[in-house]
Chain A
Amino acid sequence: MLEISHLTKRYGNVVALDDATFAARPGRLVGFLGPNGSGKTTTMRCVFGLVRPDAGETRWNGKPIDRSARLSFGYMPEQRGLYPRMRVAEQLAYFAQHHGMSARDAKAAGTRWLDRLGLGDRANSKLEELSHGNQQRVQLAVALAHDPELLVLDEPFSGLDPIGIRTMTEVLRERAAAGVGVLFSSHQLDLVESICEDVVIIARGSIVAQGAIDDLKRSSGRRHLEVEVEGGDGSWLDGVGDAVVLERTNGLVRLLVGDEIDLPRIFDRAARAGRIRRFTFEPPALSELFMEAVEPDPGHEKVTGARR
């Protein structure tokens, strides 16, 4: 288990991390979410000893992370980069050896991952001769070749085409299923929602939400109500109570409401206004949970009682 414990880091007057605390369980895909500049990269750099926090610590399996622990980690930094003029296979072997593998094992592992990622025929190419997407695959292979127990990936999906996204997803799922800890940051919230079990949301250096996505949704206290009434003029809305109107077009109304709302009453009112084509009541999407967590005051139109 990766534990981030009360990390604080300041750069001059800028607070990059402010008492950030969370844990990432192995065997699960953990999405690390937050707006730009919220402290994701700094947190990851702390894990790898690239940034020394002013306070707090990082632990792996209960022990403070040191150099030897990091040998069993795999890292894909936000700023991608490998040696441009080094051959791909040699590059992989080089980094795997730095993680403590013997020269022979490192070479074999490099070859295995290149084949797995569809780059087997490019083993002897120089990195700079590869396309951007393929360079990104090599970068992933560098993070994976030494068979790490923990993967920390900074925006692994950014810049990937749909095929690249699928490959990345498969690999991350497979690693998690093998019991590896996987923490990755991303701005693609729908993607995160579809592949992750857990998320950690950071804003202004502090953790504002964390846990299983399902639990977060359930406990959010907000629900999405989507109602489509044929021919209705929408006047039935007047009796709904406190709600945020998200969308209102041609008889379709999307509302953000509390989970204690009196559903049967709304249904009755809508049914009386016209024929109901759709009536759904769902927890919010991850993207909404995210917005809510990082920006508590959304700029939506708010209806209180009778308002159109």
Chain B
Amino acid sequence: MSPLRSIWLVARRELLERGRSRAFLAGLILTEVFIVGGLLLQAALASQQSGLKIGYIGSPPPVFEQTIDAIAERNGVKVELFAYPDRPTAELGIKAGEVDGVYEPPPDESSPGVLIFKEGPDSRIREAVNQAVLAIRLANSGVDLRPPEVVALEPASAEDPTALIIANVGVIFLFISIFSFGFWVLSGVVEEKQSRVVEVVLSTVRPRDLLMGKVLGIGVLGIGQLLVLVVSGLIGARLLGSFEPPPTTVPALVMLVVWFVLGYALYSTMFGVLGALASRMEEASNVTMPIQFLAMGSYFLALVVVVNDPSGLVARIASLFPPAAPMIVPMRTALGGIEFWEILLSIALTILFIYGLFNVGARVYSGAVLQVAGRMKLRDAWRSSR
């Protein structure tokens, strides 16, 4: 029987048994609830913010409209312009709540015109209209209002708040996914030892094939869950129209999936190998403490340091350290602060690292997995391996 068939059988069992388990289904539903809830919340907040409605008596000149639009975009606020034929209709409009304020331009340029509110002045509208009126006057006096051409000496780091949100949420999400599915590999390995079934399994399956099948089967489950969530998130966002995905969205999502696969492969292998040293679940969390520190460290590095300086020295170095890369690189990608070759190099290094880790790990796993009594030392497992 070929190793591939052994791996396939093990992977399929993990997939079927765990895919049907309450833990998986509950986790899936819970995260779905979070995603949908988050989207609804965002939509609700957005609808509260939207809606500076400004009236204009007469038809607003193009310069007025352009200036208002520019200010609105700069502040991330949606502004609608309404044109009223005369002051009485405009006042009715204000009272009915159609608009928040109305600007009545002067008949000539001797006066600045009037800004009408229902109650006190809305400072945002006042600012915007002030500037727009200024712009009209400057334009009328023949001043060129075109903004200067922009030349950047260095590529700008993303200022787009949506990119920042995607980056943060993405990294948190990656961390949770990698950790929870990696933990499943750990508990699977320990349970097999604890229930003693591993001796029956290993009478036909090579230890490394068992480890490989386990990592693959649970990994497919993880990717499945990730895709369901990403797709439902995107569909939900589009339906609710809650945000306009920034141009970095698609590469960021591709990165999310790629780095989930790499991060999961790396961490679950470590979990599986060190888990084999424990013989009971209670020992497992002690044995895997170093992994937890490593993952936590990388996570906080991403959320605290890299997010503020995505192309700085720390970020660049951490990207080349495989255990940290799955958290650091997607963050930098989402913020647009990484070169393409850096991504490729980081992926290559991580794959290489996983390959080495698996070969070293499989040997430790072989040596440890049959030792059912007590906690084993890493070195003894390595030595006693076949």
A contact residues vs B (CB 8 Å cutoff)? 45, 48-52, 67-68, 70-71, 73, 75, 77, 79-86, 94-95, 97-100, 142
Contact = CB atoms under 8 A, between A and B. Distances in A.
B208 to A, nearest CB: 13
Given A77-B200, A98-B6, A98-B201, A50 B370 contact: yes
Contacts of A73: 203
A99 B202 CA distance: 11
A142 B203 contact: no
Contact of A84 (B1, B195, B203, B372): B195
A85 B17 contact: yes
A50 B370 CA distance: 8
B199 interface: yes
Given A85-B17, A94-B13, A52 B204 contact: no
B204 A99 contact: yes
B206 interface: yes
Contact of B203 (A52, A70, A79, A80): A70
A97 to B, nearest CB: 6
Interface of B: 1, 6, 9, 13, 17, 21, 191, 195-206, 370, 372, 386
Contacts of B372: 79
B113 to A, nearest CB: 77
Contacts of B191: 84
Contacts of A142: 200
Q: Which 3 A-B pairs have the closest CB atoms?
A: A81-B196, A79-B196, A81-B197
Given A50-B199, A68-B1, A98 B204 contact: yes
A77 B202 CA distance: 11
Contacts of B196: 77, 79-81
Given A50-B370, A94-B9, A97-B9, A83 B197 contact: yes
15 contacts: A45-B370, A48-B202, A51-B370, A67-B1, A67-B204, A67-B206, A70-B203, A71-B204, A79-B199, A79-B372, A81-B197, A86-B13, A94-B13, A97-B9, A98-B1
Q: Give the interface centre of B6, B196, B204, B206 by most chain A CB atoms within 10 Å.
A: B204
A50 B13 contact: no
Contacts of B17: 83, 85-86
Contacts of B195: 81-84
A51 B370 CA distance: 9
A141 to B, nearest CB: 12
Contacts of B9: 94, 97-98
Contacts of B199: 45, 50, 75, 77, 79, 81
Contacts of A71: 1, 204
Nearest to B194: A81
Contacts of B370: 45, 50-51
A15 to B, nearest CB: 16
Contacts of B1: 67-68, 71, 98-100
Contacts of A100: 1
A277 to B, nearest CB: 53
A288 B272 CA distance: 49
Contacts of A80: 196
Given A67-B1, A83-B195, A95 B200 contact: yes
Contacts of A99: 1, 204
Contact of B200 (A49, A81, A86): A81
Given A81-B198, A83-B197, A95-B200, 19 more contacts: A45-B370, A48-B202, A49-B203, A49-B386, A50-B203, A67-B204, A67-B206, A68-B1, A70-B204, A71-B1, A79-B199, A81-B200, A82-B195, A94-B9, A97-B9, A98-B1, A98-B6, A98-B9, A98-B204
Contact of A48 (B13, B197, B198, B203): B203
Contacts of A95: 200-201, 204
A195 B93 CA distance: 103
Contacts of A75: 199-200, 203
A73 B203 CA distance: 9
A71 B206 CA distance: 12
A94 B386 CA distance: 25
B202 A82 contact: no
A98 B11 CA distance: 12
A86 B192 CA distance: 12
A152 B13 CA distance: 26
A143 B6 CA distance: 18
A73 B199 CA distance: 14
Contacts of B13: 86, 94
Contacts of B206: 67
Nearest to A97: B9
A304 B6 CA distance: 65
Nearest to A99: B204
A14 to B, nearest CB: 13
A49 to B, nearest CB: 8
A184 B200 CA distance: 16
A52 B206 CA distance: 13
Q: Give the interface centre of A84, A86, A98 by most chain B CB atoms within 10 Å.
A: A98
B199 to A, nearest CB: 4
Nearest to A84: B195
Contacts of B6: 98
B202 A50 contact: yes
A282 B307 CA distance: 89
A95 B386 CA distance: 23
Contacts of A97: 9
Q: Give the interface centre of A48, A77, A86 by most chain B CB atoms within 10 Å.
A: A77
Nearest to B16: A90
B205 A82 contact: no
Nearest to B373: A79
A1 B9 CA distance: 30
A132 to B, nearest CB: 14
Contacts of A52: 386
B200 A82 contact: yes
